[in-house]
Structure formats: C-alpha cells, structure tokens
Amino acid sequence: MKRYSLRRKILFIVLGFTIILQLFYLYVNVRSFQKRYYAVLRSNLIIVGETLKDNLDFILKKGIPIDRLFGLEKVLKGSLSDSPYLKYIVINGKENKYLYYCDRKSFLRSESIARQTKQLNLPTKQEKYTLRFPLAGFDEKYEGNLILVMDRALILKKVKEIALDTGTIILIAMISIFDFLFFIVAHTISLPVRIVAREIQLDLSEGRLDRPLHRTGIDFLDMMIQYFDHYRYVFKEKWIKLVIVWQCVMKTNAVRAVWHTSLLERLTKIESLLNNFSFSGKPRTLDVSISDPVLIRPAIFLFVFAESLSISFLPLYANELYQPILNISKEVVLGLPISAFMLSTAVSLPFGGAWSDIFGRKKAFLSGALISCMGLLLTGSAQTITMLILYRAIVGIGFGIVYMTVQGYIVDTTNSDNRAEGMAIFLSAFYGGTLCGSAIGGMIADRIGFRILFSVGAVLTLISIVFLYLFISPGPEITKSVKYKPPPGEWLKKMISALPSFKDISRLVSDRNFIALSLFQGIPNKICLIGFIYYLAPLFLKELGNSQSNTGRYIMGYSLVMILLSQTMSKWSDRHGNIKQIIVIGGVFSGIILIPFFFVNNTFMIAVGILSLGTVHSLSVPNQAKLASQLGVVQDVGLGSGIGIYRQLERIGNVLAPIILGVLASIFGFAKSLAIIGIYTAFSSLFFLLIYKDEEREISGEKSAHISG
C-alpha cells in the first residue's frame, strides 16, 4: 500500500475540503445571483410595461380601435433602446391575435406576423420571461394585452459571466492556497522539526547533554521534546555522579595494583567512553538555522502576481495613450511597452545575478522589488505612450533583478540532489502568479479601470518584500559576512565581469548547433509566446467584442496548462523521448497551431490556440534548455556562461515579438499576422532539423540538475 508523507496528507485534506466547499459556494452563489438578478430586471421592466400600458390605455379610451394605432413603432423602439434586456414587444387583441410586433430591427403588423409566426417564436402563454399587461379601452373594457418578452439569452449570458468570474476566483484561490500551503507546512512543521533534528545531531557529535532543544510549536512533539530534555537532565546528574565515583576508584593506587593488565586496559577504554560526554552549561555557539526553497514561494508568487495584473490589458492601455511616434505604425507603437519591458529585463539579468552575489539575496530582492514598485506606480500615472514605454522599462529592470535573485536563493538552499525540485518550486510559483494575476487583472479592469491596478500591483510588491524579510532566515550567502561592504568600485567591476566574455560569445555563435538551436527554436518560440499571448491576443479579443474578464481568462489558459503539464511532460520526455525529435515536433506544432488563423478568426480559435500553444511549449521549451546544456561548445565554455548566453539570445524573440507582430498587423491584420508567424515557426523548426548535427557528448546528472530551471 502506498504511503504518503505528512505534508502531502495535509495538502490533500485541506485542498479536498476547500474544493468541495468552493464548488458548493459556486452553486449557491450562481443560483442566488440568478434569482436576484431576474427579480431586479423583472421589477425594472414592470415599470417600463406599466408606463407603456398607461399610454396605450389613454389612446384606447378615446375610442381608437387597437388594430388602428399609428406611430406605435417609434414608441416601442424607444422602450427597447432604454431596456437592453428586452428582446421584443408584442400586442395582441381580444382573440389573442397578434396585432403588432417590434424588436430592435423590425416592426411588423398583423398580416406580416401571421406569415412569420414560426420564425418569430411568439409566446402562447404566460412564461417566466414574459410580462403581460392587460389593455383597457372605453368603459374599462378589455381590449388585448401588451406583452414584454425578456431576452433570456442575454440574461443567461450575464449569469454565465458571473459563474465564470466566480469559477475563476475559485481556481485562483486554489492555486494561491496551493502555493501558500506549501509555505505554511514548511514553516510550521517541516523546518521546526528539521531544526530540532539538527540540534540533536550537533549535540550527539559534540557529546553535549545539557543544552535544551528548541520547541517546534507542535503540541505533542513539544511534549516529547520536554520529556526528552527532562530525561537528559536526569541522565546528566546520574552520569556526573558515575564519573566522579569512577575517577575516585581509578585514582586509588591500591585498587589499581591488584588489577590485571588486560583488565586495566579495558577499564581505561571505559574511562575514555565516560569522558566522551561533557557538560559545559554553555548555550550552542552555532545558531541552528535551516533554509528551504519553499520559504520564498509566497514572495515569488506575490511579486509575479503584481506584475501580471496588466498582462491582459497592457496593449489596450497603450492604445488609450497612443500618440504617433515618428512614422512608426500604430500597431508597432502599441507593442513597444512590452518590448521595452522585455529588453530591460534581459539586460538586467546578468547584473541582477552579480548584484545579489555581492550584496546578498535579501538586499537584492529589496532593491529589485522597490524598482518594480516605482515603475508600476509611474506606469499607472503615464500620460503619453512615450512615458509608458519608459516606465515599463523601469519595471523590467526590477523584474530582472528579482528573477535572478530568487534563482540565486534557490541555488543557495539546494544541492545537486534537490536542485531540480527547487527550480520546479520557482517555476510553479512563477506560473501560478502569472495565471492568477492575468485572470484577476482582467476581471477587475472591467470594473475599476486600468490605472488603479498598477497601484495595486505596487502594493503587492511591497507585501512580497515583507514576506521575504519576515520568513527568510539569513541563510547561506555568497558574501561571508553580514557586515561585508565591498570596497569602492569593486561592485562595479564584478557587475561588469558578470557580462559574458567576447571570447565565449564568439565561440558559441560560430557553432552551427548552438546557432541553429538559438535562431530556429529559441527565438521563434518566444515570438510565438510573447507576440501571440501577451500582445496580439488582448487586442484581437477586444476587437472580437470580448470583455476584459474573458480576455484575462483566455490568456491565463497558457499558464494553467504549463502548471498542469510541464513537470509531467518533462519527466515523460526524460524517460521516453529523443530531445531533438521532441524539439522539432514542438516547433512544427507551435506553428501549425497558428496557421488556421488564415481561415478562422473567432474567439474560440484564439482560446484553442492559447491552450494548444501552452501544451506544446510544456513539452518542447524545457527540452530546448536541456539540449543547449548538452552541446559540446556549451560545456567547453562552461555551463553557466553557455546557458546564460543562450538565454540572452532567446530573449531577442521576447523583444522583437511585439515589433514584428505590430508591423505584420498593420499590413495584414491580426489573424493573418498570426498565421504568418505560424508558418515562420514551423519552417524554422524544419531548418533546425536540416542544420543541426547530432553530437555524442552526454551531460552528467549533476549538471542537468543545475540547468533544469
């Protein structure tokens, strides 16, 4: 029978109950909203119906027959324009014969109604979505009915939107709980227990019996530790007495004279055993502190969440601020804020790594988060497109510093055996924050606008700093002393030395396999991701009439698929797949996914494209980094430098994607631009297959653990 760890059991129990309760809440909330929403609409339409009835009754009481009314079209269409949830209005006579029919496009009289009765689907009796008002003529005689038919489809659409919003919030809550639950279990259970175990191990190695252990905060375990400390104290007292007696006996010459030599040797060994334990009465000189990569998970999640709030609407926000820049087309200008962010992030990555190495992880995270916070506040206050581009570049600088700092912390707190797991924690928190931020940002933007969300993001970056400083111990730092201050100019030299050398760059770019992987796999895949998901998708979905909430939900599909499939796909490819074949297939399918936009350009196609691209990338993108690490030239120049240069070249696609897609969109439109990029990506993968030559070198397991992130 398979046994699960305590941490996994806690996760299963909490998540299980949360899912059940949230689904129950979803059902109750949607049903309650549907009833209340229907009641409010019905009461509003009753007022509209009674107003129309009073006007018609006034005319009929003057003796005008109900089938001879004129000027009715203008009156009925006015009511329809003021009431968006009215589908149409009909009036029938005494014999229930329909005399007038009016919707937003047409106005029909009895003859036309009779010919189109089946197509119009007129109500035959009182229904839930119809309101009937009897009309009275001269002497209050019954003349017929005014019937208002509510737009059931529109009402159900609104209910569906609320259900989707609620379901999205539940999904976000589940992912957030998942991220924070790992942290809570580690902080309250795993780490305290590991600290106590480490203290026992230190005491055992030093032979100390008089130093009490820390408490874990877990009642039953602390009770056991208390008993353990008590018995150690009792043992200590008895042991001291035994040692004193033994020393007295061993110092008695008369006794030692009658002992045999062999027995004396044995007694000497016993004496050395007794001396193994000591009782200094002093506290531990070493403060036992254990770091764990999972502790930084909430800080990563909150920081990425803050940045991702604007993913679903940044191009639309840029459109609001648009002003012509030189002779650059509007579509290209709208993509420049994304390109500026990607460029500044790419440039700041190597400097961010050096910065965190020199000044420590906490200070580097603090500086990066504060820069991003300032950039987000400025972004929300931008008045021109030029200011927006500049402010997004500031956010990108902070993002790059934090990105490298977090990866550095994970390297500090892991070794070759668990580094892949640590990087998986980083990626899970990264994609979780991206998913939740993009979805929540889309829903809130519909209600409160774009600008305030950047302020919300700024506050969240500050909260991520609080999490870091409250729950992350100093841990292992590259700098040996907490008070270490680099001499003037040293930090600048180290920052410059973090840049890849010209020699390494020239060796790598002259290698056909490295350049084939970079130009025909890495860059095209990034163009697909950034160009489609982050740039064109928000604009395209808006053009197709989607709300900001729906746009956020569609875009979050990519991150959701990556969270669900990336680790499973990577494990499968490690066991069964040829890396080169997987990369080629992934590249071809990344392009094929976009080619149908030549023929179909609707919302469903965009949603399918986003989910499909996420599925393909969860298999192919991680294997691109693995293949890069196996290249002979990368191992020759050093795995760190080689992968770093590959990542920098790959990010060229991030920067160019909005510009390329903007140029294409200004010429061919959104749909055809995506199809053209699809063709380019598919053919790039085929070119890679032709150019790349297999190598026989293999990468060691330890190295693969280092590049798994």
Per-residue confidence band for 707, with pLDDT thresholds at 50, 70 and 90: very low
Q: Which pLDDT score, from 0 to 100, does residue 587 have?
A: 92
Q: Which pLDDT score, from 0 to 100, does residue 700 have?
A: 42
Residue linked to tokens 């080619």 = 595
Per-residue confidence band for 261, with pLDDT thresholds at 50, 70 and 90: low
Query: Coil, strand or helix: which one is 135?
Result: strand
pLDDT above 70 covers what percent of the chain?
81
pLDDT above 90 covers what percent of the chain?
28
pLDDT of residue 285 exceeding 60, the answer is: no
CA distance 228 to 364: 42
Same fold for the domain at 293-499 and the one at 500-709?
A: yes
CA distance 166 to 673: 34
Phi, psi for 514 (deg, rounded to 5): -65, -45
Q: Across residues 80-87, what is the average pLDDT?
A: 88
Q: Which pLDDT score, from 0 to 100, does residue 383 have?
A: 93
Encode pLDDT of 207-236 as tens digits: 666 666 767 667 777 787 777 777 777 777
Using CB atoms within 10 A of its CB, is residue 586 exposed (0-12), middle (13-18) or buried (19+)?
buried
Say which CATH topology domain 293-499 has. Answer: Growth Hormone; Chain: A; (1.20.1250)
Per-residue confidence band for 278, with pLDDT thresholds at 50, 70 and 90: low
pLDDT of residue 706 exceeding 50, the answer is: no
Per-residue confidence band for 604, with pLDDT thresholds at 50, 70 and 90: very high
pLDDT of residue 705 exceeding 50, the answer is: no
Q: What does the DSSP 8-state code read for residue 530?
A: I
Q: Which pLDDT score, from 0 to 100, does residue 709 have?
A: 41
The pTM of this model reads: 0.77
Average model confidence (pLDDT) for the chain?
A: 81
Query: What is the spatial order of strands in the sheet that 98-102 belongs to?
Result: 107-109, 98-102, 86-92, 142-150, 130-136
Q: Which pLDDT score, from 0 to 100, does residue 274 have?
A: 57
Q: Across residues 624-638, what is the average pLDDT?
A: 85
Cα-Cα-Cα-Cα dihedral sign, residues 110, 115, 119, 123: positive
Can you read off the two tokens belonging to residue 231? 């018995």
Q: Please report, for residues 56, 102, 665, the alpha-carbon distance to residue 135 in angstroms, rounded to integers and kept in the order given.
A: 7, 17, 57
Provide the phi-psi class of 437: left if phi over 0, else alpha when psi is between -120 and 50, else beta.
Answer: alpha
- Closest to 366 measured CA to CA, from 293, 296, 468: 468
Q: Across residues 337-362, what is the average pLDDT?
A: 87
- Closest to 554 measured CA to CA, from 572, 571, 540: 540
Per-residue confidence band for 478, with pLDDT thresholds at 50, 70 and 90: very low
Encode pLDDT of 244-257 as tens digits: 776 676 666 555 55
Encode pLDDT of 295-342 as tens digits: 888 899 999 999 999 998 999 999 999 998 888 899 999 999 999 999
Q: Which pLDDT score, from 0 to 100, does residue 481 have?
A: 37
Does 478 or 347 have the greater pLDDT score?
347
Which of 333-337's residues contact partners 24+ apart within 8 Å by CB, and which partners? 333/385, 333/662, 334/535, 334/539, 334/658, 334/662, 335/535, 335/657, 335/658, 335/659, 335/661, 335/662, 336/385, 336/389, 336/658, 336/659, 337/385, 337/388, 337/389, 337/392
Q: Which pLDDT score, from 0 to 100, does residue 95 have?
A: 78
What number of CA atoms fall less than 13 Å from residue 167's CA on the CB side?
A: 10
Provide the phi-psi class of 292: left if phi over 0, else alpha when psi is between -120 and 50, else beta.
Answer: beta
Q: Which pLDDT score, from 0 to 100, does residue 255 have?
A: 55
Does 120 or 270 have the greater pLDDT score?
120
The lowest-confidence range among 319-333, 561-575, 689-703 is 689-703
CA distance 598 to 602: 11
Q: Which pLDDT score, from 0 to 100, does residue 698 have?
A: 47
Cβ-contact 175, 563 below 8 angstroms: yes
CA distance 405 to 368: 9
Cβ-proximal residues to 251 (8 Å cutoff; 6+ apart), any chain: none
Q: Which pLDDT score, from 0 to 100, does residue 8 have?
A: 67
Helix, strand, coil: what percent of the chain each, to 5?
75, 5, 20
Residue linked to tokens 């797949």 = 577
The lowest-confidence range among 44-58, 214-228, 582-596, 639-653 is 214-228
Provide the phi-psi class of 281: left if phi over 0, else alpha when psi is between -120 and 50, else beta.
Answer: left
Q: Across residues 20-42, what is the average pLDDT?
A: 83
CA distance 245 to 105: 110
Encode pLDDT of 523-547 as tens digits: 999 999 999 999 999 999 999 988 8
Max Cα-Cα span within the chain: 143
Ordered by start, the domain boundaries in the chain are: 6-157, 209-274, 293-499, 500-709
- Class of the CATH domain delimited by 500-709: mainly alpha
CA distance 16 to 206: 45
- Closest to 288 measured CA to CA, from 352, 370, 210, 215: 215
Per-residue confidence band for 172, with pLDDT thresholds at 50, 70 and 90: confident
Cβ-proximal residues to 655 (8 Å cutoff; 6+ apart), any chain: 339, 342, 343, 346
Q: Across residues 620-636, what is the average pLDDT?
A: 85
* Helices marked H in 214-360: 219-250, 253-258, 261-274, 297-308, 314-320, 330-359
pLDDT of residue 703 exceeding 50, the answer is: no
The lowest-confidence range among 14-28, 381-395, 504-518, 605-619 is 14-28
Q: Which pLDDT score, from 0 to 100, does residue 513 have?
A: 93
Indicate the CATH number of 6-157 among 3.30.420, 3.30.450, 3.90.660, 3.40.50: 3.30.450
